Copies of this chain bind each other. A is one copy, B any other.
Amino acid sequence: MYQNHPREKARIALAGAGCRCMGILPLLLEMEDVRVTAVCDPYPDKAQAAARLAEEAYGEPIAVFTDHKQMLAQENIDGVVICSSWATHCRIAIDAMRAGKYAAIECGGGASLEELWELVRTQQETGVPCMAMENCCYDLKELTVLNMIKQGLFGELVHVEGGYGHDLREEVSFGRENRHYRFDNYMHRNGELYPGHAIGPIAKYLNINRGNRMVSLVSMASKSAGLHAYLKEKKGDEYDATNAPWAEGDIVQTMIRCAGGETILLTHDTTLPRYYSRFGCVRGTKGMWQEEENRVFFDGEGEGETWAHAPKPFDPLLEKYKHPLWKEFEKEGVKGTHGGIDWLVLRALVESMLAGTDCPTDVYDAASWMAVTVLSEKSIATGSAPVAFPDFTSGEWIHRKPYLRGKYCLDEVCTDFFEEDAPAPEGE
């Protein structure tokens, strides 16, 4: 258990001043127990734009850097939110921990197992917390489902699905003009590039790295046709990226088997026309939840008429099994971007920093979630061969206990921190 000194203010720097920074910076500036002290980005104009936001809020300038190492050398930083391009997340997190600063890694996949091992070893050597900043772990739906799982409503878990369905054709294909890293990633890589929104909540459902672990993975990618078709219509054949060899398949699906025998299906689906979805699905011996259809089904309902077994709406259960964190959040007033989840994940970081403790997600979460990208690329590169999942805990997963500290914990539903009682058990 990390025991740095408690703080009255969490002094936070941002590494990377792109879209994500501009989304979360206003939330941090709003928090009275946070002081944003620095920002860095290799593009000076982006860093300056972020700094201007901070200056408007504080009435005085904050430090601006183009090099993250220079920023990390500053004294007045307790932690760094890393919202830079995907390929730089690990490097910056490692440097942050070495500088003694909380490393809070925003969503994005890894690029090599070697760098993920270095991330883990650096955390172990320095003892500095490293948090996987997966906002979807704190979504109302996912936290409610976590609560239902922990209360046994689905029985023994058998299979879980999730993914990232988001039409990003505009963001990706015009990413070069907008200096967005997605352009290069989609042009040159083929894999599950963005697993966090799915694997984050799922890993917590399945106790990954704490009694369970991901053992093997296999991925398959469809052809890449969506960006060609999109650019052909928007820019015509003369535009160089229209007929460029986009590497990323339009649909990348990944199957993972866990030590407990559970299977996971992930879907990465961002370059064909579609509406937003995270494909959430939980299957157990007693019931199921389906996010897209917003419904549940429990055993015994409609028994004797298997053909006609009918699911029912999720909404009443969303109310009945609402996670205590969300009850409190709604009582105090939901705020922040993406329906409140950005606020919650930042608070999880900030409150850990203020207490001087570990965070609700740790370096093993970060490494194993980011490893999905690396392993998926490996599998696709070798014709959908199965790849073994590294055990970043080096055997400790068998005995590692849930992290129960703080009301933002995701390993159990901790109710001690809330005024209200625990949600009513089933049948009450």
Question: Min CB distance, A162 to chain B, in Å?
Answer: 14
B167 touches A309 (CB 8 A): yes
Bound: A200/B251 CA distance, A: 21
In the complex, which residues of chain B have a beta carbon less than 8 angstroms from the beta carbon of A168? 306
Q: Cβ of A76: which chain B residues have Cβ within 8 Å of it?
A: none
Contact of A276 among B269, B287, B299, B307 (CB under 8 A): B307
A158 and B299 alpha carbons, distance in the complex (Å):
35
Q: Are A262 and B222 in contact (CB under 8 A)?
A: yes
A: contact size bracket: 35 or more
Q: With the chains together, A177 CA to B284 CA distance in Å?
A: 27
Known contacts A155-B229, A273-B297; is-contact A263 B221 (Cβ 8 Å): yes
Closest to A311 in B: B275
A25 at interface, CB cutoff 8 A: no
Instruction: Let me know if B263 and A251 touch, CB within 8 A.
Output: yes
**A159 lies within 8 A of B250 (CB):** yes
Bound Cα distance from A287 to B226, whole angstroms: 11
Knowing A222-B158, A255-B253, A293-B293 touch, does A274 contact B262 (C-beta < 8 A)? no
A205 to chain B, nearest CB (A): 14
CA distance A157 to B20 in the complex (A): 33
Q: Decide if A220 touches B257 in the complex (CB within 8 Å).
A: yes
Q: A226-B285, A385-B386, A386-B383 are in contact. Are A263 and B257 (CB under 8 A)?
A: no
- What copy number does this chain have within its complex? 2
Could you tell me if A222 and B275 are in contact, using CB atoms closer than 8 angstroms?
no
Cβ-defined contact, A216 with B383, below 8 A: yes
CB-nearest residue of chain B to A387: B384
Chain B's nearest CB lies how many Å from the CB of A389?
12
12 contacts between A and B (CB under 8 A): A156-B229, A159-B251, A166-B306, A220-B255, A220-B257, A222-B257, A222-B262, A272-B283, A275-B310, A292-B292, A292-B293, A385-B386
> Is the CB–CB distance between B250 and A158 below 8 Å?
yes
Q: Is A225 positioned at the interface, with any CB of B under 8 Å from its CB?
A: yes
Query: Which of B166, B220, B288 touches A263 (beta carbons < 8 Å)?
Result: B220
Which residue of B is nearest A220, CB measured? B255
Q: Which residues on the B side are within 8 Å of A261 (C-beta)?
A: 222-223, 225
A158-B272, A255-B253, A293-B293 known; A218+B216 contact, CB < 8 A:
no
**Contact for A220 among B158, B218, B275, B283, CB less than 8 A:** B218
A260 interface residue, CB < 8 Å from B? yes
Neighbouring B residues of A156 by C-beta, 8 Å = 225, 229
Across-interface contacts of A285 in B (CB, < 8 A) = 225-226, 228-230, 272-273
Known contacts A272-B288, A299-B273, A158 near B223 by CB under 8 Å = yes
- Among residues of B, the one whose C-beta sits closest to the C-beta of A284 is B272
A384 to B386, CA, bound (A): 6
Residues of B within 8 A of A176 (CB): none
**Contact A309/B276 with A156-B225, A223-B262 known, Cβ cut-off 8 Å:** yes
Residue numbers in B under 8 Å from A229 (CB-CB): 155-156, 285-286
In the bound assembly, the distance between CA atoms of A223 and B170 in angstroms comes to: 41
Q: Assess whether A314 is interfacial by the CB under 8 Å rule.
A: no
Given contacts A273-B297, A306-B167, contact A251 B292 (CB under 8 A): no
B275 adjacent to A170 (CB under 8 Å): no
